[in-house]
Amino acid sequence: MTETLSDIGEFGLIDHIHELIRTEGLPNPGVLLGIGDDTASIQPRMGYELLVTCDSLVEGRHYLTDHTTAFDLGRRAMTVNISDIGAMGGTPLYALVSLGLKADTPVSDVKQLYRGFLMELNPFQASIIGGNITKTDEANFIDITLLGEAEKGKIVRRSTAKLDDAILVTGYPGQALAGLLLLLQAENPGELRDHPLIRAYTSPSHRAHEGKAVALSGYAHAMIDTSDGFLADLGHICEESGLGAVLVQENLPLNDSLRRAAETFGQDPHALIMKDSDDYELIITCSKDNVEKIRDVISKVSETSVTEVGQITKAEGKIKLLLPDGEERDLQLTGWDHFKT
């Protein structure tokens, strides 16, 4: 019979988790005191600022248990947070994991969840320094707080785009949305698990290495991750910079798998790129002179594509799409609103 949390109890589970972190995680020299006391303690480095973010995934809302594995879920929950640190140009260092778990959750699932966390943290020698576990009755939740560092004054904000900046985007936004749509309409989702679009949804990549390289280069004016969707996050840059944008439709990055998926759904593939999608790409703005320099900087740390898709304009908070026939269309800024859906 599958061992569940009600079999081993909270303290039994905590022992399992500590042991797993101890044996499968990596030590981090900044940790003065890890798991096991009232608080953890860390030694911040001189000359660095400390970045802090938190993000949560709730069962039934951000993920469906049938559509993912505990390991992938752990990776994704940590990736979402690493992406935020990366979008400032920082390096992730310390994670606190707060879980709400139902009593019938298999112990093996919780271990796999932590293996997923560590799979994402270990490449940075980042470690889990604390957390909390509580029982829930209806839906599991994973709430992670991630701390990172960046050289003082080197972070890149979303609110500092400049007029006439080029707009760059990494990778192929929209793939996670296409993957989710494929999953939801599949008769047997399990068979599709290795489909690249579904992998993009269940196990997305962050661009933290790219973000850090861009920030250190000093060439970017603004940067954000696409966690709310490409258009919504470009909207955040525009609104908070008091500017607007024009996008060139034929320049939007579109790969074969997204094109084919769009055909399957009978949708315009460009719409898929711009909608709310759980990809964690970067949007970067920089002066036109620096576009090639940013490409070059990113190419040194990653094979991720970098596409120039448009330009910052003075039309505050407004984004237009330039169609191939020369027509300009106003785009409606949306962004996933949990409480209105």
Options 63, 71, 94, 201; binder of a second copy; rule CB under 8 A: 94
Closest approach, Cβ 223 to a second copy, in A, equals: 8
Q: Can you tell me which of 131, 204, 229, 310 binds a second copy, judged by CB under 8 A?
A: 131
Binding residue for a second copy (CB under 8 A) from 25, 116, 130, 310? 130
Largest CA distance in the chain: 65
Instruction: Please work out, in degrees rounded to the nearest 5, the angle formed at the alpha carbon of residue 236 by the alpha carbons of 231 and 240.
Output: 150
Q: Which is nearer to a second copy, 69 or 159 (CB)?
A: 159
Is 134 a binding residue for a second copy by CB under 8 A? The answer is: yes
**Cβ proximity to a second copy, 36 vs 218, nearer residue:** 36
Q: C-beta of 189: minimal distance to a second copy in Å?
A: 22
Question: Among 221, 230, 207, which Cα is nearest to 90's?
Answer: 207
Contact positions with a second copy (CB under 8 A) in 246-285: none
Task: Please tell me the number of Cα atoms within 13 Å of 326 on its side-chain side.
Answer: 0
State which of residues 18, 24, 28, 56 lies at the interface with a second copy (CB under 8 A): 56
Three-state secondary-structure class, residue 267: coil
For residue 214, CA distances in Å to 170, 181, 270 come to 12, 32, 26
Closest residue by Cα to residue 162 from 211, 90, 223, 215:
223
When asked if residue 182 is in the footprint of a second copy (CB under 8 A), the reply is: no
When the beta carbons of 45 and 193 are compared against a second copy, the nearer one is 45
Piece of the chain touching a second copy by CB under 8 A; list 68-76, 111-119, 157-165, 314-322: 157-165
Binding a second copy by CB under 8 A: which of 20, 70, 78, 85? Answer: 85
Q: How far is the CB of 231 from a second copy (least distance, A)?
A: 15
Which residue of 2, 15, 41, 259 would you call a contact of a second copy, by CB under 8 A? Answer: 41
- Of 55, 120, 165, 281, which one interacts with a second copy (CB under 8 A)? 55
Q: How far apart are CA 334 and CA 32, in angstroms?
A: 44
* Closest-CA residue to 224 (of 237, 240, 205): 237
Q: Between 31 and 301, whose beta carbon lies closer to a second copy?
A: 31
Residue 136 within binding range of a second copy, rule CB under 8 A:
yes
Using the rule CB under 8 A, give the single segment among 32-40, 199-207, 257-265, 267-275 that binds a second copy. 32-40
225 closest CA partner among 243, 206, 200: 206
Q: Which residues of 234-245 are buried (b: 16+ CB within 10 A; e: fewer)?
A: bbbbbbbbebbb
Tokens of 65: 């248990």
Nearest to 20 by CA among 119, 134, 125: 119
Report the C-alpha gap between 131 and 98 in whole angstroms.
5
Which two structure tokens, joined as six digits, stand for 217? 């280069």
Q: Which residues on neighbouring strands pair with residue 33, listed in sequence order?
A: 41
- Residue whose CB is less far from a second copy, 23 or 39: 39
Give the pair of three-digit tokens for residue 205.
């990549």
User: Could you say which residues in the range 96-115 bind a second copy, by CB under 8 A?
Assistant: 96, 98, 100-101, 103
Rule CB under 8 A: say whether 238 interacts with a second copy: no
Q: Contact between 170 and a second copy (CB under 8 A)?
A: no
Among 126, 129, 161, 231, binds a second copy (CB under 8 A): 129
Binding of residue 64 to a second copy (CB under 8 A): no
Nearer to a second copy, 292 or 337 (CB): 337
Contact 214, 283 (CB under 8 A): no
